[in-house]
C-alpha cells in the first residue's frame, strides 16, 4: 500500500531538464518537484551560466570536477590544458544552491564581474 502511494506520487512529479555546457560537454540535469513553484526553485539552485572556455588559455577542454577536504567539499570547473579552476560556491544557509565564484575586474574604468578563474598549476589537484 505504501509503495503504491509512493509510485502514484512519483507519477505526479513535474520534471524539468536543465542543460549546462561546460567546455565541449553538455551536462543534462533532470530535476523534479511536486509543483511548478518547487520545480522553478529547484532549477534556481544551479545558478551558473554555460562556461565554454578557460579564461586563462581559452581552451575548451573543461571538466566538472569535485573533491573532498576535511572541512569542505569542493566543486569546480577545471581546464585540462592549463589546470586553471573556477570554483563553485554555495552559501552555508542554503547549501543546495551553487553559483560560480566571480571577481571584479576593471575594464576601461568600468568595474565588471568576471568568473574567478585561478591558475592552480603549482597546487596539488
Residues found near Zn ion in the complex (CB under 5 A): 54, 56-57, 59, 79, 81-82, 84
- Least separation in angstroms between residue 56's CB and Zn ion is 5
CB closer to Zn ion, 75 vs 119: 119
- Find out whether 16 and 39 touch, Cβ atoms under 8 Å: yes
CA distances from 101 to 16, 19, 83, 116 (A): 25, 20, 17, 5
- Least separation in angstroms between residue 25's CB and Zn ion is 15
CB closer to Zn ion, 31 vs 84: 84
- Least separation in angstroms between residue 14's CB and Zn ion is 38
- Find out whether 66 and 74 touch, Cβ atoms under 8 Å: yes
CB closer to Zn ion, 45 vs 118: 118
CB closer to Zn ion, 21 vs 90: 21
Nearest-CA neighbor of 14 among 35, 45, 41? Answer: 35
- Least separation in angstroms between residue 78's CB and Zn ion is 9
Largest CA distance in the chain: 66
Amino acid at each position: 500500500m505504501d509503495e503504491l502511494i509512493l509510485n502514484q506520487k512519483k507519477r505526479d512529479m513535474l520534471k524539468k531538464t536543465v542543460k549546462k555546457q561546460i567546455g565541449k560537454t553538455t551536462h543534462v540535469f533532470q530535476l523534479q518537484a511536486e509543483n511548478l513553484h518547487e520545480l522553478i526553485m529547484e532549477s534556481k539552485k544551479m545558478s551558473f551560466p554555460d562556461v565554454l572556455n578557460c579564461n586563462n588559455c581559452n581552451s575548451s577542454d573543461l571538466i566538472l570536477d569535485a573533491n573532498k577536504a576535511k572541512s569542505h567539499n569542493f566543486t569546480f570547473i577545471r581546464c585540462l590544458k592549463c589546470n586553471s579552476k573556477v570554483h563553485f560556491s554555495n552559501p552555508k544557509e542554503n547549501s543546495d544552491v551553487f553559483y560560480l565564484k566571480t571577481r571584479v575586474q576593471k575594464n576601461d574604468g568600468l568595474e565588471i564581474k568576471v568568473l574567478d578563474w585561478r591558475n592552480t598549476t603549482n597546487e596539488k589537484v
